Amino acid sequence: MSISIIGCNNQSKNAEKVTTIIESQVESKYLKKNKLSTVFFDQKIWSNYNEDLNGDGTKDKIEVFATKEYLSNQDEPNQYALKVCINDICFDQRVNFSSNSHSGKETKFEIININKKDSFKELLLSYKEAAIEDPSFNHSIFRLLDDSTITVSEIFSSGYSNGQINYIDDYSFTVDHARFPDIKGTYTLEGLYLKQSELYVQPEDEVDWSKVAACPFVYLVDGDNKLYKGEILRYLNAEYTETWQKLDMKLDDKIYSNLRICISEEKDETTYLNSVYLSVNGKIYTPKLINSKNRNIILDDDKYVEISKGEKIELQFNLKPELIETCILYAKGYYLPSKYYSILNDTKNEPTKRITDKGKP
């Protein structure tokens, strides 16, 4: 069985042209049957047998397998191999974090429908880039065209918690590729591939540098003192950017019986905190709110605690006295600047600098 693919902006069926790059954010390539690493994929980690990807009336067999190495608990970025199979056509997929690591837990597999007007659906695999702080999401989008043609389009972003997909209509979506300056790509389907139809690049003289790393501050409360520990929910400045982030509290080799943590909003914005917990020496502790905003933020349930400029919440974590080797705060949510400035989200404004698939101006 041969598997063919056609380049993103080249409709030639020349088999030698197996890779095409569009504006450096998108790469599409051949998927060849059973082109796998010489590793043993010993566990199925995700599957779907209920979707018809190519609209032929038959449900497709979609499976993802992993190695023991991928299933181990390591938080440092590394290269891990997964095996993705569609109707027993299998190929490698590389990801950067193991499944039990914080960033690895955010690897997701999902059936999506980019074009609501056709009969096709797509397999989306999203995973974090190889960065410790504020990694972006990268995406692989697989399309099954017929029994012998599968394509994958890879979408890359970098840093600042970028890479969010935002569906804007029945045909297309945007991806945040960068911030400061903002870079955002718009993507549609064209033939076999995902095509970058537009790339917005914000002029540097329009960057609002006061919004850099705008996010709530985190303090360790020690009696009457507050010790600054860092920021959380960095760069997550829109509702669709919501995700988990972590902050190392750096309490290594100290003994604590209880911990009080203050999350304080000190910039001109409102934080929407969905859920928060603390990992101490690998054990999970959920908090109690000990000030006036008495709402549950243990569950990831979209019931938000709102923290506006000048407000704060204090969290009590009840621990048994022990030597703390690792102490990491995890939070899920986002924030909105009070004066929400974004040319990208204002359809009335025409971006002053735009790059399209026809080339750079």
346 part of a folded domain: no
- Between CA 201 and CA 312 the distance in angstroms is 35
Pair (125, 252) in one structural domain: no
Pair (144, 250) in one structural domain: no
353 part of a folded domain: no
* Number of domains making up the chain: 2
- Between CA 238 and CA 240 the distance in angstroms is 6
Q: Which domain holds residue 197?
A: 19-205
228: Cβ–Cβ under 8 A, 6 or more apart, which residues? 217, 218, 219
Question: What are the φ/ψ torsions at residue 134 (nearest 5 degrees)?
Answer: 55, 50
Predicted confidence pLDDT, tens digits, the chain (361 residues) = 233 222 233 333 322 222 222 334 555 544 444 455 567 888 999 999 999 999 999 999 999 999 988 998 788 888 898 999 999 888 888 999 999 888 898 899 999 999 998 999 999 999 999 988 789 999 999 999 876 688 888 898 888 889 989 999 999 999 998 877 888 999 998 777 788 888 888 887 887 665 565 689 999 998 888 889 988 998 888 898 898 998 998 887 677 778 899 999 988 889 999 999 999 988 999 988 766 554 567 778 888 989 998 999 999 998 888 788 889 999 999 998 875 434 334 433 333 333 333 332 2
Q: Could you say which DSSP state residue 68 is in?
A: H
Pair (37, 164) in one structural domain: yes
352 part of a folded domain: no
Pair (234, 187) in one structural domain: no
Pair (192, 313) in one structural domain: no
Q: Which residue, 286, 278, 280, is CA-closest to 323?
A: 280
294 part of a folded domain: yes
Domain boundary among 167, 186, 205: 205
Pair (188, 330) in one structural domain: no
Pair (50, 187) in one structural domain: yes
Pair (148, 43) in one structural domain: yes
6 part of a folded domain: no
Pair (182, 242) in one structural domain: no
pTM for the whole thing?
A: 0.70
348 part of a folded domain: no
Pair (61, 134) in one structural domain: yes
- Between CA 319 and CA 285 the distance in angstroms is 8
